[in-house]
Chain A
């Protein structure tokens, strides 16, 4: 089976840094993905980690620790437009199983 835990809500100040954590219990874990979803919109792909360590893409970075079954999404230089829900998702069995999503973290960026 698969289960993911992430905080339901996070609030941060514009220009600051925020970290959204995700822990998972996944048989045959293969990789951890992150998606962003604005209200009324579709989930959009942000990042994917299969190996331990940090992956950086612009203001967003994603980290994975396979031994701790833990990952996080780091957002730097927060902007108002970053207010959205962020989902972690896992795939298993050499990536042959479809993504299973966490419940999402709603990020509110305030001035």
Chain B
């Protein structure tokens, strides 16, 4: 199993540009989570999906952020327009049986907005 696959690994963009982060969860996992990690705020949940349906997006900081999961094997997190304060590492994680069996995290996307 290749694990959770995220792309790109690194993204540098200019303020105001659109950024799209991608995630392929582990096959058979029915829950997908997007987290953001910064030194100041730690790991914050942005949004999560169960069976491709968004369940809670209350962690999405602003309307500039949107996420989709069109099918069980793909999800995107989009920021439009991007701002320097969006600079962080964005992790996607998937799970099949909840927290007790653990979440599997992707390698993350390090986003830098200049």
A residues in contact (CB < 8 Å) with B: 30-31, 33, 41-45, 48, 50, 87, 89, 91, 95-96, 98-104
The 13 sampled A-B contact pairs (Cβ below 8 Å) are: A31-B100, A33-B99, A41-B107, A42-B106, A42-B107, A43-B103, A45-B101, A45-B104, A95-B98, A98-B48, A99-B103, A101-B35, A101-B42
Residues of A within 8 A of B103 (CB): 43, 45, 99
Shortest beta-carbon distance from B15 to chain A in Å: 25
Whether A101 lies near B43 (C-beta < 8 A) is yes
Main secondary structure of the interface of B (DSSP, over half): strand
B105's contact among A30, A44, A104, by CB below 8 Å, is which? A44
Contact A48 B101 (CB under 8 A): yes
User: B31 to chain A: which residues have CB within 8 Å?
Assistant: 98
Say yes or no: B105 contacts A48, CB within 8 Å.
Answer: no
Complex CA distance for A62 and B111, rounded to whole angstroms: 33
CB distance from B44 to the nearest CB of A (A): 8
**B-side contacts of A98, CB under 8 Å:** 31, 33, 45, 48, 56, 99
Q: Report the Cα distance A104→B89, complex, angstroms.
A: 15
Tell me the complex Cα distance, A48–B102, Å: 8
Report the nearest B residue to A50, measured CB to CB. Answer: B100
Given contacts A98-B45, A98-B56, A104-B42, A33 and B98 within 8 Å (CB-CB): no
**Nearest chain B CB to A46 CB, angstrom units:** 8
Q: Give the distance in Å from the alpha carbon of A35 to the alpha carbon of B102 in the complex.
A: 9
